[in-house]
Structures are given as structure tokens and as C-alpha cells.
């Protein structure tokens, strides 16, 4: 047996002190390097050629240096040992330094690729990389601190509400800034910066505190989120390109919310869910006033939405009733076959191989814009002095749709039905033995998820102007499922985060079009290795995947005690 030598207490202290000093020097160098030129030409990223005038991405590097500096310096200045609740200062410093090093490497690689070689990296870029590397090495020499307990702390109500509002507002500004970035390299580096900030919040314990504060002021969080979401189009300066991406994200998120009922709550693997979105879209297009519509009946859109949703739900019942008696891989194969059957059937309803309904592979083009209560969604409107285009109009409608979907999902999740779904997901035999109507709840999950997808599809048909069978292929179902797994199954915020990332990143990474699926696959592999429960996981799933993590169990127990105490106080 090989014995691993351990450092003495004195050696550990010396290494910790040296690491802190090296980390501080690296952070200061990184902060100062932001005022030096990083690139030789202005075409790289966001013009990093100025001396004394940092670009936005250079300010991001400066901010990461400030985070490292604060995490290493603040504990010594304020004497944190006297506080009852502590933050994970060293953990935060390590996360910030790691993120800073990755951020700087991506910046230098982007400059080299966009300008034609590393020779185009100016001295400021190398100074920044040296500072990031020094802070990384220094923090790695430091001993890890104890787990943060700040999650159990309570601040004055006005302060908690203010911080919640500021966090939501910062998220909107970050999303608006990311959409306005034109280059793929700039987008990737900024996403790395945002991910680093989130990692620092998580490692320090502030994210857990913010989560507990949000639970205490849930109504404030919901109100702030929707106010910020409604204000988002006013930050885009009338850009149809950015708002088009935003509407696609909302459609994708709304559809994923329906699939989250099937997969996240009931635990049923559905690989053909995109068919329900297509059924709603085709129904809405057929009943629209398009010149290519094959049906002479054109009811109001409110009626069309209900019909589209009911047809999708009926398809869910048809596919669910005979097939939900199987489970696991067999259910996945059946649902995959159903998705392909739907696409082939839409191709065959062309008047030659079958009835004339969908016009085959040509689909139904020229679907007119919606007109609800006299409001034409296809016209530009001026609101508060700002001009809103066609996609902004659909954005507001889709935002209301997603809000209703979230309400439905949370109500179901917290009801007896939701508890039955979770029981089926955990152990179907045990749930049936306890009297849960397993088959009935499975069918209801399929029908309910399909109903929501039908609503999203009916709006998508008008927003996309045309509907064709090739829009609803297996790859789209795989992306929907990946959004749920990536974000966190069974959670609302997780689905929204996963859907946003998977819909936004392909739009911004067109410069690596041939490798997008490869990059996507690598990201999923890394997620399954380091965070299998998803980016925003429920407590149950976090404990399932990290049963050996005693620190996580203690933190969750503390949060539950805080919530129980808060409820007792409010009562």
C-alpha cells in the first residue's frame, strides 16, 4: 500500500499564506491589464485596441479580477470570524480565478482566430493571462475553507426585496447584452464570464441565500421576473433579429414546459414529443385564413387555440393508452416511432397519397398574422416612444403563454396529482401498491403535456408564417429533452434556463456550424459528469445524485429549517 505524504500544520499555513499573496498579485495584475491593449486590430471581439479605454469584455475581465481580489482581501479586512453566518471566501476565490483563466484563454484564442494568429495578441493580453494564471495557481495553494452557512441568515425585508429585484434586472441586462453581441467569440467569452459569476455565487453560498430569500418573497420574485421580461423588448432598439430569437426561445421554453410534465414529473421518456407541437401548428395553419388552407372554416383564433390543443391532447391519449403499459427503453422506442409516423403522415396528406390537408412536403405557407381584439401582430407599433416590430408583438403574447404554462405546471406539481407522478417516477410498483392510479396518471401526463404543446404550436404557426413537416424531426425532440436534462428535470427555472441556452447558443455559434452538434454533445457529457442533476436542480434530485455529499445534505436541511421557521413566523 502506497502512503500519500501529508503536509504538517505549519506547511499548510505557509502554503496558504503564499497562495493568498500570489493570488492577490495576480488579481491586481489582471485588473490593471484591462487598461492595456489586448488585440492588434479592432476587428477582434469588441475592439480591444485602446490604451486606457477598456472595451466591455475587458471590463468583464476586470470584474473577475475584482472578484478574486475581494474574496482574498475582504475576510482579512472585516474579520469575518465574528459573524455568526459565514461565506465560502476561498471557495469563491478559486471559482473566480478558474473562470478568469478560462475567460482569458478564450479571449486570446478568439483574437488569434479572428485576426489570423497569436501574433495579433498585444502585450496587454499576455499580461492579463499572466495575472489570471497567477491568481489560479495562488488560490490552488490555499486550503479550502469550511462550508458556507450564509443560507440560514436573514436580512431586513427591504434589503432582500431590493437584492432580488437587482438580480433579476442584472439577468435581463446580461441577456440583452449577449443578444447584441455580433461575433461568436465575443458571445462565448461573455457566457463564460456570466457562468463564472454564477459559480462564484454558488461556491460562496450567496446563491443559496438568494434562493432562500426568493422563497420568502416568492410573489416579489415572480412580479420582478415578469416586469423585467415585459421590459426586455424595449432594450433592443426595435431589432427584429434579436426579438426573433427571443420569440423562438419562448416557444421552445413553453414546449419544454409541457414535456417537463411527462419526463420531469412522471418520469416517462418521450422521444417524439415534437409531434404534439407540430399537430398544434398544422391545425392552426389549416384553420387560418391562408390562401393555401385546405379547409373552408376559419374560426377566431381563441377557438383555434382550443381546437389545436385538444387535437394534440387527443393524439397524446391515442399514443398513450396502448403504449404506456410498457416503460423504459420500450416506451422510448414507441414514442420515437410515433414522432416519425407523424412527420411521414403530414407528408402523405398531400391529396395524392392521402386526403388533401397539409399539402405534403410543401406545407402551408402564407399563414396570416394574428389580429386579436383589433391588435394586428404583423404591424409595427409605437409604445412609450419606442417602436416595436412584429416579433416584439408575438413576444408579449408568448410571454403570457409561458406564464400560464408555469402556473399550470406549479399547480400540478404541488397537487395530489403531482405527488402521484413523482411516486410513479421514483418507483412505479411501490406507487401502485400504495393505491396510486398509475395508468390513469400516466395517460393524464401525456395528454396534459400534449395539450400545452398544442397551444404553443398554434401560436408558432402564425409567428413562423409557414408550417412544413420537416420542421418537426426527431432532432427537435432530442433538443427539447436535452433542455430539460440540462436545466434540471421537474423544475420551472431549470427548464427556462436550459431552453434559453439550447436555443440561443446555436444562433450565436453559426461560425462553427459543422461542429455545433459535437460541441453540444461534449457539453452534455461534461454535465452528466460534473452536475448530473442539472443546472437548476430540485433538492430531491440533488440528493439522489449526491447521496455521499454530507455537506449538501446539511445545507438542504438548514434551508428547510429556515423555511419552516419563516412559515411559523408569518403565521
pLDDT at 79 over 70: no
Indicate which CATH number applies to the domain containing 472.
Answer: 1.10.3470
**Domain end marker among 181, 198, 229:** 229
Same domain, 348 and 438: yes
Measured CA distances, 82 to 20, 72, 115, 260 (Å): 21, 17, 52, 45
Cell numbers of 241, please? Answer: 433579429
Res. 553: pLDDT tops 70: no
The pTM score is 0.79
Evaluate whether residue 65 is within a structural domain.
yes
Same domain, 468 and 419: yes
Q: Over range 492-512, report the average pLDDT.
A: 76
Choose the weakest-confidence range: 22-31, 356-365, 370-379, 392-401: 370-379
* 181 and 247 within one domain: no
Same domain? 157 vs 305? no
Inter-residue contact 16 to 41 (CB < 8 Å): no
Do 225 and 286 reside in the same domain of the chain?
no
544 pLDDT more than 80 = no
Average pLDDT over residues 270-294: 86
Question: CA-to-CA distance for 235 and 176, rounded, in angstroms?
Answer: 7
Task: Establish if 61 belongs to a structural domain.
Answer: yes
236 inside domain = no
Residue 550 pLDDT greater than 60, yes or no: no
- Among 229, 262, 289, the domain-final residue is 229
Specify if 560 maps to a domain.
no
Would you say residue 174 has pLDDT above 50? yes
Confidence of residue 1 (pLDDT cuts 50, 70, 90): very low
Residue 114 near residue 43 (C-beta atoms within 8 A): yes
What's the 3-state SS for 88-106? CHHHHHHHHHHHHHHHHHH
Res. 271 pLDDT band, cuts 50 70 90: confident
In a domain, 51, yes or no: yes
Count of domains observed in the chain: 2
Task: Check whether residue 141 and residue 252 sit in a common domain.
Answer: no
Q: Are strands 386-388 and 381-383 parallel, antiparallel or unpaired?
A: antiparallel
Residues 137 and 30 in one domain: yes
Residue 189 lies in a domain: yes
Residues 146 and 199 in one domain: yes
**Is pLDDT above 80 for 124?**
yes
Do residues 445 and 364 share a domain?
yes
All cell numbers assigned to 76: 482579512
**Based on the domain organization, do 223 and 260 belong to the same domain?**
no
Of 142-156, 192-206, 212-226, 423-437, where does mean pLDDT reach its minimum? 142-156
* Inter-residue contact 34 to 46 (CB < 8 Å): no
Q: Does any domain span residue 177?
A: yes
Which residue would you say has higher pLDDT here, 568 or 355?
Answer: 355
Q: Is the pLDDT of residue 351 over 50?
A: yes
Model pLDDT for residues 33-72, shown as the tens digit of each residue: 889 888 887 777 777 888 888 888 888 889 999 998 888 8
Report the share of the chain in percent with pLDDT over 70.
Answer: 88
Q: Is residue 207 over pLDDT 60? A: yes
Q: With bands split at pLDDT 50, 70 and 90, how would you rate the model's confidence at 332?
A: confident
| pLDDT, position 564 | 55
The domain containing residue 56 runs over which residues? 9-229
User: 433 pLDDT band (50/70/90 cuts)?
Assistant: confident
Closest CA to 453 of 287, 302, 282, 278: 278
Residue 370 lies in a domain: yes
Considering the domain architecture, whether residues 47 and 128 belong to the same structural domain is answered as yes
Residues 132 and 250 in one domain: no
Amino acid at each position: 500500500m502506497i502512503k500519500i505524504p501529508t503536509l504538517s500544520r505549519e506547511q499548510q499555513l505557509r502554503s496558504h499564506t503564499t497562495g493568498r499573496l500570489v493570488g492577490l498579485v495576480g488579481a491586481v495584475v489582471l485588473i490593471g491589464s484591462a487598461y492595456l491593449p489586448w488585440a492588434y486590430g479592432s476587428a477582434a471581439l469588441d475592439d480591444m485596441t485602446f490604451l486606457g479605454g477598456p472595451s466591455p469584455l475587458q471590463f468583464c475581465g476586470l470584474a473577475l479580477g475584482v472578484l478574486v481580489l475581494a474574496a482574498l482581501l475582504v475576510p482579512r479586512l472585516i474579520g469575518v470570524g465574528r459573524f455568526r453566518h459565514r461565506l465560502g471566501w476561498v471557495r469563491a476565490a478559486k471559482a473566480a480565478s478558474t473562470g478568469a483563466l478560462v475567460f482569458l484563454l478564450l479571449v486570446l484564442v478568439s483574437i488569434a482566430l479572428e485576426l489570423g494568429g497569436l501574433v495579433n495578441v498585444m502585450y496587454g493580453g499576455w499580461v492579463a493571462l499572466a495575472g489570471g494564471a497567477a491568481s489560479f495557481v495562488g488560490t490552488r495553494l490555499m486550503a479550502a475553507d469550511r462550508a458556507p452557512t450564509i443560507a440560514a441568515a436573514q436580512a431586513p425585508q427591504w434589503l432582500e426585496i431590493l437584492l432580488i429585484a437587482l438580480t433579476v434586472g442584472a439577468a435581463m441586462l446580461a441577456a440583452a447584452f449577449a443578444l447584441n453581441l455580433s461575433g461568436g467569440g465575443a458571445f462565448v467569452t461573455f457566457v463564460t464570464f456570466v457562468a463564472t459569476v454564477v459559480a462564484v455565487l454558488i461556491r460562496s453560498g450567496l446563491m443559496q441565500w438568494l434562493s432562500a430569500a426568493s422563497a420568502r418573497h416568492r410573489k416579489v420574485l415572480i412580479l420582478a421576473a415578469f416586469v423585467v421580461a415585459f421590459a426586455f423588448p424595449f432594450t433592443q432598439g426595435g431589432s427584429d433579429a434579436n426579438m426573433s430569437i427571443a420569440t423562438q426561445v419562448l416557444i421552445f421554453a413553453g414546449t419544454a414546459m409541457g414535456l417537463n410534465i411527462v419526463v420531469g414529473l412522471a418520469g416517462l421518456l418521450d422521444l417524439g414529443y415534437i409531434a404534439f407541437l407540430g399537430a398544434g401548428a398544422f391545425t392552426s395553419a389549416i384553420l387560418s385564413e391562408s390562401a393555401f388552407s385546405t379547409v373552408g372554416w376559419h374560426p377566431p383564433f381563441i377557438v383555434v387555440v382550443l381546437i389545436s390543443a385538444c387535437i394534440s391532447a387527443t393524439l397524446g391519449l391515442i399514443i398513450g393508452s396502448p403504449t404506456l403499459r410498457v416503460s423504459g427503453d420500450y416506451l422510448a422506442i414507441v414514442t420515437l416511432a410515433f414522432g416519425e409516423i407523424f412527420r411521414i403522415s403530414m407528408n402523405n396528406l398531400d391529396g395524392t397519397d392521402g386526403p388533401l390537408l397539409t399539402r405534403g412536403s410543401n406545407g402551408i405557407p402564407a399563414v396570416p398574422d394574428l389580429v386579436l381584439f383589433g391588435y394586428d401582430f404583423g404591424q409595427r407599433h409605437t409604445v412609450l416612444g419606442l417602436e416595436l416590430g412584429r416579433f416584439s408583438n408575438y413576444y408579449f403574447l408568448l410571454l403570457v403563454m409561458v406564464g400560464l404554462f408555469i402556473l399550470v405546471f406549479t399547480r400540478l406539481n404541488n397537487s395530489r396529482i403531482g405527488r402521484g407522478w413523482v411516486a410513479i417516477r421514483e418507483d412505479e410498483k411501490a406507487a401502485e401498491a400504495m393505491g396510486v392510479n398509475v395508468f390513469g396518471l400516466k395517460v393524464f401526463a401525456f395528454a396534459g403535456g400534449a395539450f400545452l404543446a398544442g397551444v404553443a404550436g398554434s401560436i408558432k404557426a402564425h409567428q413562423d408564417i409557414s408550417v412544413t413537416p420537416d420542421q418537426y424531426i426527431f432532432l427537435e425532440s432530442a433538443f427539447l429533452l436535452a433542455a430539460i436534462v440540462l436545466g434540471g428535470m421537474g423544475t420551472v427555472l431549470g427548464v427556462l434556463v436550459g431552453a434559453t441556452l439550447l436555443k440561443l447558443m446555436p444562433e450565436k455559434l453559426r461560425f462553427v456550424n459543422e461542429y455545433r452538434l459535437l460541441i453540444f454533445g461534449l457539453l452534455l457529457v461534461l454535465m452528466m459528469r460534473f452536475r448530473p442533476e442539472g443546472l437548476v436542480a430540485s433538492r430531491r434530485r440533488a440528493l439522489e445524485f449526491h447521496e455521499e455529499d454530507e455537506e449538501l445534505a446539511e445545507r438542504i436541511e438548514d434551508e428547510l429549517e429556515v423555511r419552516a421557521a419563516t412559515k411559523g413566523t408569518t403565521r
